[in-house]
Structure 1
Amino acid sequence: MPTEPRHSHLARELIHHAAGADAHWYRLARLPAQDQLIGTGRHTDHANAGFLKGIIVEYGWPDVQLVGRDGATAAWRIALHCDPRTDIQGAALREMHRAVQRGTASVRQWAHLHDRYALNTGSLQDYGTQYRLGPHGPERHPVRDPDELDTRRRQVELPLAADALRHLRQRLAAPPRGAGEWEGAPAPGLAGVG
């Protein structure tokens, strides 16, 4: 039986902040990269990054014990979009990794954040969770050692790379479901589905 998070007020705030950015993130998943850096949604991402930083400084990663499953997922969604603030994204990545080691955060979500941070800092991704729009739809950003990609993905509980890409293409081709599309899968910036 799930226990009540220690800080349900933080959970509510994280969920509120992430939900406030949902429409922006949903639009980003369908825009070419050159169009993703503009608009008021980026201001929301910047404000959310500052909010998340304050939580990390005070509590560490807002994991399931601290803010519950929904609050932890909202924190992860915010961390994925700290793109202009790689200092905050890197701190989130490190703190989330500690929580994964304690068993209080999702290794699958951590892998998405790891890849996002790698791309934002000029490195290749390890788990193949980050995509961009190409001339024929979504395509995976380059990965380190592509022959071992599915082995690494299995280690962090992700589906096979080909299955994930197929699912992403299906999801982007489907009519919008609205804010509820965020049920466990990152959409913005073509973060992928697993």
Structure 2
Amino acid sequence: MTAAEPLRPDLARELIARASQSAARRAKRVRNQLDAVQLGQDRHADHADTKVLRRILAEHDWPGHRLVGAEAAHAAWSLALHADDEADFQRAATTLLERAVQDGDARIQHWAHLYDRTLVNRGRPQEFGTQQVLTATGVELCPVRAPGSLDQRRASVGLSPIAVALETVRRRYAPDRHAGDSSTVVLAGVA
């Protein structure tokens, strides 16, 4: 991976702007700060973000570090990670991201998170323990395949032990929950 100027700074700016706006919307959604109209607008914006990312993937393959720089590659990953309403697209993005990782143009941790997300969205156990659910009672880990070897799989992709990751997520989200809130939100975990 290179720190040189990206080949497509225009795409980089677009990805970063979209991911930043998406993160702001998600933060409000997690904290139940959106009314019904805003939730609808939020879903529409998510679909628009996915459409833009779909176009970028079709034209350029995965927008990795060489094409858009590290920050925009992270932004592309975030947009793909939250394209939950388009499972086929999300799985295709995972494949392209995996190729970029193999070419040294993307972070393996991003691939692990996106791969887990596609498994969880299909109702299957995740591999790396990157996906949690935020409920009224706190943060819970989505089901994991072979939990006894989870930390070894996490280490193989450069992720911290699951206990450390869960504690970080719990500290991040627990203070923001309201006692009477019964909504469930799928979270992407931390490294």
Structure 1 length-normalised TM: 0.85
Asked which structure has the greater RCO (Cα within 8 Å, sep 6+), the reply is: 1
1:74 aligns with 2:75: yes
Q: CA deviation at 1:30?
A: 4.4
Structure 2 gaps of 5+ residues are 177-184
Cα shift readout 1:146-193 (whole Å, capped 9, x = no counterpart): 111101000110000011000111112467xxxxxxxxxxxx832111
Distance 1:93 1:144, change over 3 A: same
* C-alpha RMSD over aligned residues: 1.8
Residues of 2 paired with 1:136 and 1:174: CA distance? Answer: 11
| Residue of 173, 176, 188 corresponding to 1:191 | 188
Residue type at the aligned position of 2:109: R
Is the CA contact 2:138–2:174 (under 8 Å) kept in the aligned structure 1? no
**Sequence identity percentage:** 44
Q: Determine helix, strand or coil for the equivalent of 2:119.
A: helix
Structure 2 length-normalised TM: 0.87
Residue type at the aligned position of 2:156: Q
Is the CA contact 1:29–1:189 (under 8 Å) kept in the aligned structure 2? no
Residues of 1 paired with 2:157 and 2:23: CA distance? Answer: 26
Q: Determine helix, strand or coil for the equivalent of 2:69.
A: helix
Q: CA deviation at 1:29?
A: 3.8
Residues of 2 paired with 1:174 and 1:83: CA distance? Answer: 26
Q: CA deviation at 1:17?
A: 1.0
What residue in structure 2 maps to residue 108 of structure 1? 109
Residue type at the aligned position of 1:103: G
Q: Determine helix, strand or coil for the equivalent of 2:83.
A: coil
What residue in structure 2 maps to residue 183 of structure 1? none
Number of residue pairs aligned between Structure 1 and Structure 2: 177
Q: CA deviation at 1:41?
A: 1.2
Residues of 2 paired with 1:67 and 1:57: CA distance? Answer: 15
Q: Determine helix, strand or coil for the equivalent of 1:190.
A: strand
